[in-house]
């Protein structure tokens, strides 16, 4: 079964602290993974795709096939990072399978 | 400007009414999707389309229907709204090819059925 698990519903950190949002997936083939972000009163938007191996807004995510994980990391959190973060898995039909999301709150 | 649009943004309606949620994209994308999202929960795929005259049901069973007569337009219709349909509805589109799973989202329609 294709599934995405984000174990933390809420993650609260102080500004300048490292942050890691966890994502585990279940997929039998070669996975295509994404992180989407939704800032307050804005639409859902793509943050990262694993295939690009890029760093966006200081965030990185590495695909670990052995642990079936795609955790999102940032070494120094900023207040403007506060948002809902969704991990998503590309399904076999071209759709996306989303996790339940993690709300990141960065305190001053 | 290339974008994906949804109207209305908010809709409050009584039980039994017929409603259509509009979704249009000017991005030239072939594939379009409808997701349903309850507050604080994950998105669930309810409908998708590969192109004109193509519509498929998603993972989450829905009483809504969709049509795809034009590439840029993918409306969702509820023939008789019920309180259980209260939710946020997100429309998305994507290109075929290498980044076929990368989707672009509209702003959403928040539906409340009284």
Higher pLDDT, B57 or A92: B57
Q: What is residue B12's three-state secondary structure?
A: strand
Tell me the mean pLDDT in the region B47-63.
Answer: 89
| Nearest residue to A18 (alpha-carbon basis) of A104, A78, A77, A72 | A77
Tell me if chain B has a CB within 8 Å of the CB of A34.
yes
**d(Cα B46, Cα A21) in Å, to the nearest integer?**
27
Q: How far is B66 from chain A (nearest CA, A)?
A: 16
pLDDT at B17 over 70: yes
Tell me if chain B has a CB within 8 Å of the CB of A101.
yes
Q: Do A95 and B58 touch (CB under 8 A)?
A: yes
> What does the mean pLDDT of chain B come to?
91
pLDDT at B101 over 80: no
Task: For the beta carbon of residue A68, count every other beta carbon within 10 angstroms.
Answer: 15
Q: Do B40 and A101 touch (CB under 8 A)?
A: yes
Radius of gyration of chain B (CA): 13
**d(Cα B14, Cα B17) in Å, to the nearest integer?**
6
User: Residue B100 — pLDDT band, cuts 50, 70, 90?
Assistant: low
pLDDT digits (tens, 9 = 90+) for A39-83: 988 999 999 988 777 788 999 998 998 999 999 999 999 999 999
Q: Do B102 and A49 touch (CB under 8 A)?
A: yes
**d(Cα A61, Cα A19) in Å, to the nearest integer?**
12
**d(Cα A21, Cα A8) in Å, to the nearest integer?**
8
Q: Which of A44, A84, A88, A104 to mutate to test the interface with B (most CBs of B within 10 A)?
A: A44
Q: What is residue A52's three-state secondary structure?
A: helix
Q: How far is A63 from chain B (nearest CA, A)?
A: 16
DSSP bridge pairs for B110: B10, B88
- The pLDDT of residue B2: 81
- The pLDDT of residue B97: 65
Task: For the beta carbon of residue B28, count every other beta carbon within 10 angstroms.
Answer: 10
Q: Do A44 and B99 touch (CB under 8 A)?
A: no
Distance set, CA A1 to CA A66, B43, B74 (Å): 17, 17, 28
């Amino acid at each position: 079964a294709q599934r995405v698990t984000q174990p933390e519903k809420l993650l609260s950190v102080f500004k300048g602290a490292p942050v890691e949002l966890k994502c585990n997936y279940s997929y039998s083939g070669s996975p295509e993974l994404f992180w989407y972000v939704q800032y307050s009163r804005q639409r859902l938007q793509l943050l990262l795709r694993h295939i690009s191996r890029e760093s966006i807004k200081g965030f990185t995510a590495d695909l670990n096939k052995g642990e079936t994980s795609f955790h999102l990391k940032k070494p120094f959190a900023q207040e403007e990072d506060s948002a809902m973060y969704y991990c998503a898995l590309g399904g076999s039909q071209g759709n996306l399978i989303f996790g339940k999301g993690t709300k990141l709150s960065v305190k001053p | 400007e290339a974008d994906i649009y949804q109207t209305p943004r908010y809709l409050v309606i009584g039980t039994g009414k017929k409603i259509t949620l509009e979704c249009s994209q000017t991005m030239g994308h072939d594939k379009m999707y409808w997701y349903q999202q309850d507050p604080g929960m994950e998105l669930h795929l309810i409908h998708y389309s590969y192109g004109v005259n193509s519509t498929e049901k998603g993972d989450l069973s829905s009483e809504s229907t969709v049509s795809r007569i034009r590439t840029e337009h993918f409306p969702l219709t509820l023939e008789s709204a019920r309180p259980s349909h209260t939710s946020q509805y997100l429309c998305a589109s994507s290109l075929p090819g290498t980044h076929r799973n990368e989707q672009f989202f509209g702003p959403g329609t928040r539906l409340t059925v009284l």
